[in-house]
Amino acid sequence: MAFCLIPADEERTMNILTFSTLIGLASILAGFLGSLTGLGGGVVIVPLLTLVFGVDIKYAIGASLISVIATSSGAASAYVKEGFTNIRIGMFLEVATTFGALLGAYIATKLSNSAIAIIFGLILIHSAYLTLKRIGESSLALKSDSLARRLRLDGAYPVPAGLESYHVQGVPVGFCIMFLAGSISGLLGIGSGALKVIAMDQAMHIPFKVSTATSNFMIGVTAAAGAGIYLNRGYIDPVLAMPVMLGVLLGSLIGSRQLFEAETKKLRIIFSAVILLLAIEMIYSGLRGHI
């Protein structure tokens, strides 16, 4: 099915090896940015495949979901070892995201490529706005809410001076946002890291670095739920999925090692700048029918 992936006017100049190499290099960059911000590489790789390499957006989403699974396996293991990830929060919120992913993937198979591109762009613009709205570290809660205490969701994470404790609030709101995040993951193949980070950082008052690490821990399960539907529909092509998966995995491993020393303000700026630029281009291409 490789003929679906390489634009017809470029088939004479780009063979499969060259195509795979370029895709792999682009995926390393996507994985690096996705790992640092908690977005997952899909938020960069889907627009990149669609806009730069001319890949059908549904095949791009299928490949992205496979790469998101690999990203979660790679970056999440490093974050767990370093003590950033809150596993109890991740497992609890995955209930919402998994059901959402199944719904989103089903809806995606019924929509046109242009509609998916426009929705993709709008979601990314909203995520960029919410992130820039509070450029510094979110104010941490002084105490947990009652549900967080019953579920024992509080934790601690490493800072230069040692371990710093934090408390969790807004659990019901965070859970609802996670269902929406899962739906977007299945619909757009982005791992829904953008909304997951925002839900944990701003609605639940979890530190940004913990939110980023826990998002990486969660996105693999969410993506696996949606990938099953794309596989059943024939939208996962090994020729495309393999270099994307390997590149994103390598980039995410590199990025995960930079998180401890990274500044929150810089993470948020990177987060917002990348997705805002891609959002504008995706909406423009969707409206022009070029997707």
Can you give the pLDDT of all 291 residues of the chain as single tens digits?
Answer: 444 554 555 554 557 788 888 999 999 988 787 766 656 667 778 888 888 888 998 899 999 888 878 766 666 677 777 788 888 998 899 899 988 988 998 898 888 889 988 988 887 787 677 666 654 455 565 677 888 888 888 888 888 788 888 889 889 999 999 998 888 888 887 766 667 877 888 788 888 888 878 887 887 778 888 888 888 888 999 889 999 989 988 887 787 677 656 666 666 677 677 778 878 888 888 888 776
Give the pLDDT score at 40. Answer: 62
Give the pLDDT score at 3. Answer: 42
Q: Are 110 and 265 in contact (CB under 8 A)?
A: no
Angle, helix 171-188 to helix 57-82, in steps of 10 degrees? 140
The domain of 199 spans 16-288
In a domain, 169, yes or no: yes
In a domain, 10, yes or no: no
Length of the chain: 291
In a domain, 8, yes or no: no
Give the pLDDT score at 74. Answer: 61
Give the pLDDT score at 135. Answer: 47
User: What gap in Å lies between CA 282 and CA 285, rounded to an integer?
Assistant: 5
Q: Are 113 and 58 in contact (CB under 8 A)?
A: yes
- Of the candidates 148, 127, 100, the residue with the CA atom closest to the CA atom of residue 197: 127
Q: Tell me how many domains the chain contains.
A: 1
Write out the chain in H/E/C secondary structure.
Answer: CHHHCCCHHHCCCCCHHHHHHHHHHHHHHHHHHHHHHCCCCHHHHHHHHHHCCCCCHHHHHHHHHHHHHHHHHHHHHHHHHHCCCCHHHHHHHHHHHHHHHHHHHHHHCCCCHHHHHHHHHHHHHHHHHHHHHCCCCCCCECCCCHHHHHHCCCEEEEECCEEEEEECCCHHHHHHHHHHHHHHHHHHCCCCHHHHHHHHHHHCCCCHHHHHHHHHHHHHHHHHHHHHHHHHCCCCCHHHHHHHHHHHHHHHHHHHCCCCCCCHHHHHHHHHHHHHHHHHHHHHHHHHCCC
Round the CA-based radius of gyration of the chain to a whole number and report it: 18
Give the pLDDT score at 260. Answer: 59
In a domain, 5, yes or no: no
Residues sharing a CB contact under 8 Å with residue 117, sequence separation 6 or more, in sequence order: 50, 57, 282, 283, 285, 286, 291
In a domain, 219, yes or no: yes
In a domain, 11, yes or no: no
Give the pLDDT score at 131. Answer: 63
In a domain, 142, yes or no: yes
In a domain, 161, yes or no: yes
Residues sharing a CB contact under 8 Å with residue 9, sequence separation 6 or more, in sequence order: none
Give the pLDDT score at 176. Answer: 92
Biggest distance spanned by C-alpha atoms of the chain? 63
Give the pLDDT score at 243. Answer: 92
